[in-house]
Structure 1
Amino acid sequence: MTDDPNSKDNWRHDSAMKLHLDCKYESGGSAGSSLDAWSLGRLDMLDGRFMHMSLAPLADRDDSWLYLKLVTNGAMHIEQGRQARRIGPGEIVLVESSQAYRQSFGEQTDMIALRFPSHALKERGLRHALRGLITPDMSAADTRAIGELVMSIAAQRGETSAAFRYRQGDQLLELIDLLIEDPAALTRARSSDATLFRARRFIAQNLRNPELTVPLIAAAVYVSEAHLSRLFRAEGQSVMRYVWQSRLALAADMLRRGRRGERGGCSDGGRVQIGDIAYRCGFSTPAHFSRAFRERYGISPREALAANGCEAAIWFGAARTHAA
């Protein structure tokens, strides 16, 4: 980026339209700032260099994103509510966009970020509403390993295959669990809530297994099948209904990404493969997937991809509602 007004206007426009961020320039030149982005399935990876600017979520956005931000050079100052942190080289911060925050770069700063919708964690039974900024302990071996993995994937620049990147995204989502999970909260929770938490988490991590059954889930969380079924019925649905709804919500998200042509979607030569999505979401056959999808959303997977304009907006809006 150069210091001419047109370049700055373009940066502001791209920040708003692509990242839903409001960009403000500070004193000092911003030349040399840059940003690359690519998809890792349900995650977006951003690799940028920022100088003399600040970024904040747009106030009129009603979507909720979670960010993992890893500074590799320089420093970022981030504020949210009454919290303020300086994130230096090799340090990580997690922040939720539904709560106003601002990040500032007073010097040349290189940063890698992961962006993902909060419902991607909710579907996994993970905590998805952060209580302010989270700055993991970088002296912990697990945290350092996650940071090194993020940097390693960023170094690939999105040049690996779409299927490979999708698997990388799933792996990162599960590892992020180690950074945002609150063990103390689980200890304080009632045993039934903790059991439901563990069951939903196990289901989310095993949606692709076509043999995912009530006995398997109950054994994984160390309760009887009858007790597990009672817990889910108290929430208004059976265990397997929850499983199928979770699978369909995952499929809806994959179709949405495929229709937009995002890198990292399940595609081959630019064409979304319905059968591939079916198997990735744990359906035994594409025909079974299509029937269940139509029953859930009132439209077949292929019709959803072929929809245009308002039809697509209505359908994908409904899909997000069901997935939330």
Structure 2
Amino acid sequence: MSRIQGTTFVAGGSILGAHGRGDERLIGNCSVVRVRELVRNTIRRNWTEIREEGADVAALCFVRKGAMRLAHAGGISYAKAGDMVVAVSTVPFEVEIDPGAGGAFEMMQLTVPTHVLRCASNCEIHAGLLAPAGSRSLSAAMRILAVISDESGDVPDCVAGKMLDALLPLIGSVVGRHAITDTGPRSIADRRLVDVLRYVESHLSDPRLSAANVALNCGISSRYLSALLRRRGATFLSLVCGKRLEVAGKWLAASGSAQASISEVAYRLGFKSPAHFSRVFRRQYKMSPSEYRERNVVADKAPLFPAHEGSPAATRLLHLQRVPRDGSGARPLSRERFQVCADSARA
């Protein structure tokens, strides 16, 4: 399996790494890449690359031909031609592309700092956010991006920069429309708490994560940090441990032992040792990590892009949703519910 190199997000480029053949254009702190690939490929991004980069950017992938699968800790997103899907640099993911019957996979990727996209959309940016084809705003955004990324060089950099400035609010409206909405923080304390939670979630893999470090990077005192967390009825240790266990549960349910061992999950999430991780996990979930994985992971994985029966040119996409179910003698678990979407990838 090929892996994305550490410079992918820092210096621009495609999330497909060396496999993404195309032209790249740098515009300020953003980059635009046209990608064309003729064969199916799978690419992984891991915690080592995330720590080495230290980047916090979002890659907005506008699929033009073929289909794309993006797997992350929160689930799996499938995008066909005309869709947009978002990958973020701060979490591991796996990408699979399928050229389909058309013989080529094509996409345009816009990479922007996450805080820029957050301001444009007025919402939190999560990996796997999917905007399906059909809206006028998304179609318009793709047309504008196609002009900006045109390799002919007819659009000067100064004009491309102004076009991108106008494009970001349009993309922000698309992202905001498909993101999980909330009322948003209203007081200064609420905004500080959001900053703290955001920093903690972005640094869960760091075993040296501490209250002093979080307070320093969020521009508040350790005493004020403790006061903010008390409002939630939590301590710093309970917050970090709870977030790590939450991510661990999602990761275990979304991957098999061949993809990520229990030890790898433990170390990647900043636990001292696999034994320590197992003890804490059992205390929270009332079962071991391996037992949790066995009860939640899909045993027999269906083909990622199976052909539509009777139509070799079509691609059937599976949209995965999680719904709660009760486990015997345990806290609510999760099961997999698959909804088949018979939309075909455009040639």
TM-score normalized with structure 2 length: 0.43
Higher strand share: 2
Select the structure that is richer in helix: 1
